[in-house]
Chain A
Amino acid sequence: ETGVTQTPRHLVMGMTNKKSLKCEQHLGHNAMYWYKQSAKKPLELMFVYNFKEQTENNSVPSRFSPECPNSSHLFLHLHTLQPEDSALYLCASSQVGPDHQPQHFGDGTRLSIL
């Protein structure tokens, strides 16, 4: 496989459930990101990991918990979510450096909270 792979592609869960989103990148990048994409809103950066260390947490509620066990894998653990958390969750990776490398995105997980 190449690029950035996200699983599952679709997830429906109740507010009391616990689930995890998975992201894997096969590009040898040193940074990984979680974004939330809601209708008619810009992508919202949630978490950033550089070299497996979390460097940003944009005031994300604690019901979202990221995990980056190595530079190729990123997880987003979900528990007791709210209906307004229904959105497309995108994972991205990039090679951080001075040469303007782009972020490569996965196809996202479409999350619906009942």
Chain B
Amino acid sequence: KNQVEQSPQSLIILEGKNCTLQCNYTVSPFSNLRWYKQDTGRGPVSLTIMTFSENTKSNGRYTATLDADTKQSSLHITASQLSDSASYICVVRSNTGNQFYFGTGTSLTVIP
């Protein structure tokens, strides 16, 4: 069964600290993995995309990694800011048709 699991479910960190969010998936055949940020009351916005051949990709303070062998991805946030408070959603796309599989998200709260 194609699934995407994220951990932790929620996380609270102090401003300026780093954190890492995890995404494990069983989707096959794999096309790509994308991390989205969803602010409260807004729709998800794409942060990064990882294809099969990519191990690491950065977007400012966000760095995503992908291990296609173990089917794991992580999103590392460096020097967190209050504006990083949001839900982070891992989405895996299958090569079969136009199928997307969503994780339940990690709710991140950055406190001063």
Interface residues of A (CB under 8 A from B): 4, 6, 31, 40-43, 45, 48, 50, 55, 90, 92, 96, 100, 102-108
Contacts and interface: CB of A to CB of B under 8 A. Distances in A.
Interface residues of B, number: 23
Interface of B: 4, 9, 31-32, 34, 36, 41-46, 49, 51, 89, 93, 98, 100-105
A43, A92, A106, A108, most chain B CB atoms within 10 A = A43
Contacts, number: 43
A102 B51 contact: no
A42 B43 contact: no
Given A100-B51, A102-B46, A105-B43, A42 B103 contact: yes
A2 to B, nearest CB: 13
B102 A107 contact: no
A103 B89 CA distance: 13
B43 A108 contact: yes
